Amino acid sequence: MLFGGAWSFSACYPKLIGRTDTTGKVPMNARAPKGTADMLPDVARVWEHMQRTAQTLFARYGYEPIYTPVFEHTEVFTRGIGEATDIVSKEMYTFEDKGGRSLTLRPEGTASIVRSALEHNLTSNGQFAKVYYAGPMFRYERPQKGRMRQFWQIGLEAIGMAEPSVDAEVIMVLMRYFEELGIPRANMRLLINSMGDQACRPAYRDKVAAFIREHGEELCEECNRRAETNPLRAFDCKNPACAAVMAEAPLLRDELCDACAAHYAAVKELLDDLGLAYEEDPSLVRGLDYYTRTVFEVQVDAGLGSQNAIGGGGRYDRLMEEYGGPATPGLGFALGFERTFLAMQAAGVGVLGHALAEVYVARVDDSVGAVAFAVAQELRDAGIAVELDHQGRSLKSQFKQADRLGARAVVVVGPDELAAGAVTLRNMVTKDETHVPLGEIAGRIRTLLG
Ligand SMILES: [Zn+2]
Ligand SMILES: [Zn+2]
């Protein structure tokens, strides 16, 4: 079964597919808050499919699950992600709890994972940690297609290793993951860049700041401000005039120190050896301050408009030091559920759904209700997904229900057959009907289901 059939993504995720109306007439305070959406079963099933795919694939690369709190001390994000980033300055859900602590709903996953790795000494004495996570993140942004205020991410982190082969491995996992979900390689573009490190980036930042000041009149107000706070963010400005000016700005690629240049070259060579095509994008800086050296992003061309990045990440070799820990290299990626979903949809991906019931147990009348109930339980104990009528509906509507659930067989319990110690088994595919003795139902159904 493809998920195209019973597709009601639009009903519960209207913002995601670019609709602003909702179907039901409900009072304002009974609606999910702006920028959030209920994940109804047909969408939740896809999310769980994505998580299972991640679990299986990531395990092959040695990653284990980790869960951290959905909220953290605000400082975890202000220090980790950086005060001057859009996320921290504009988009965080920050609140004071009843004890007067400033807490923030996590806007991304990495800061929490690194905080946790430090708190629990996961990387002390030369150990490394390879972990993955999945869950909701929160950012106060203007909702649009593929962008929600509560959104869902899957990510992984490899902490404690500085070698370029780890970068190549992490990038490979991300690409393989999307492919495993059915997004063809040809639909994706892998962009990579190097952000340098503390040896070469400060000088480069100063160069970019000077460039911005030189071209101050051609750039927007915000970019002018960025010269003082976070000049590299000017590369991300959505203003076309700014983009045109910044295209002429000095590139970090040309200013990397020898160690960063060697690291970057080694990563590219490994990707070449793996046969993984990439494009170098010197303007790819990603929106967070903690990135050092390798950064990468996966974009798709179809289905997403301007929000075309479905996943990305990078190295953050100084992040643990920001929290007062020892110098510990690390890198990881995160991918968004909503955008990945849209990319899968655009690629025409079908995902195996599951029938809600393999077998339906119908009853002819109330006199056999208790037997029907017992038969259903016996089949469920035998590992078969079963639904039955609880409401005393007509046989005709029970068969309709069985069809709707995708049942491949219906067991009909009726007083006449029961008097002879049997039930009727109807194969919903061939429409064949046979009488089956009570003790043989589970065995016969297993044969029928194959
Ligand atoms: Zn600008
Ligand atoms: Zn460097």
pLDDT tens sequence across 11-44: 445 445 444 445 566 777 788 898 998 988 878 8
For residue 291, pLDDT over 50 is answered with yes
Q: Which ligand is nearest to the CA of 261?
A: 2
pLDDT at site 353 = 61
Q: Which ligand is nearest to the CA of 292?
A: 2
pLDDT at site 85 = 82
Q: Is the dihedral of CA 78, 84, 85, 86 positive or negative?
A: positive
pLDDT at site 144 = 77
Q: 359-449: which CATH topology?
A: Rossmann fold (3.40.50)
As a whole number of angstroms, the distance between CA 313 and CA 211 comes to 27
333-376 residue pLDDT tens: 999 998 999 899 888 887 656 668 999 999 999 999 999 999 99
For residue 423, pLDDT over 50 is answered with yes
The CATH number assigned to the domain with range 9-200+256-346 reads 3.30.930.10
The secondary structure of 65-131 as a DSSP string is: E----SEEEHHHHHHHH-TTSHIIIII--EEE-TTS-EEEE-SSSHHHHHHHHHHTTTTGGG--EEE
As a whole number of angstroms, the distance between CA 241 and CA 237 comes to 9
Residue 350 CB-half CA count within 13 A? 8
E-assigned strands of 364-414?
Answer: 386-388, 409-413
As a whole number of angstroms, the distance between CA 364 and CA 41 comes to 31
| CATH topology match: 9-200+256-346 vs 359-449 | no
Output b/e per residue, 424-444; b: 16+ Cβ within 10 A.
Answer: bbbebeeeeeeebebeebbeb
As a whole number of angstroms, the distance between CA 448 and CA 269 comes to 54
172-217 residue pLDDT tens: 999 999 999 999 999 999 999 999 999 999 999 999 999 999 999 9
| Domain boundaries along the sequence of the chain | 9-200+256-346, 359-449
220 Cα to the center of ligand 1, angstroms: 4
232 vs 411, more confident: 411
List CB contacts of 413: < 8 A, sequence separation 6 or more. Answer: 361, 362, 363, 364, 368, 371, 372, 375, 423
For residue 395, pLDDT over 80 is answered with yes
Q: Which ligand is nearest to the CA of 293?
A: 2
What is the maximum alpha-carbon separation in the chain? 95
- pTM, rounded to two decimals: 0.86
Residues above pLDDT 90, as percent of the chain: 71
Cβ-in-10-Å burial (0-12, 13-18, 19+) of 316 comes to buried
45 Cα to the center of ligand 2, angstroms: 44
pLDDT band at 4 (very low <50, low <70, confident <90, very high): very low
List beta partners, residue 129.
159
- For the chain, how many residues are written? 450
pLDDT band at 296 (very low <50, low <70, confident <90, very high): very high
Q: Which ligand is nearest to the CA of 264?
A: 2
214-261 residue pLDDT tens: 999 999 999 999 888 888 888 888 899 999 999 999 998 889 999 999
Helix, strand, or coil here: 329?
A: coil
284 Cα to the center of ligand 2, angstroms: 16
pLDDT at site 22 = 53
Residue the block writes with tokens 């040896």: 199
pLDDT at site 312 = 96
Element (H, E) at 425: strand 422-427
204 Cα to the center of ligand 2, angstroms: 10
Q: Which ligand is nearest to the CA of 263?
A: 2
Q: Which ligand is nearest to the CA of 226?
A: 1
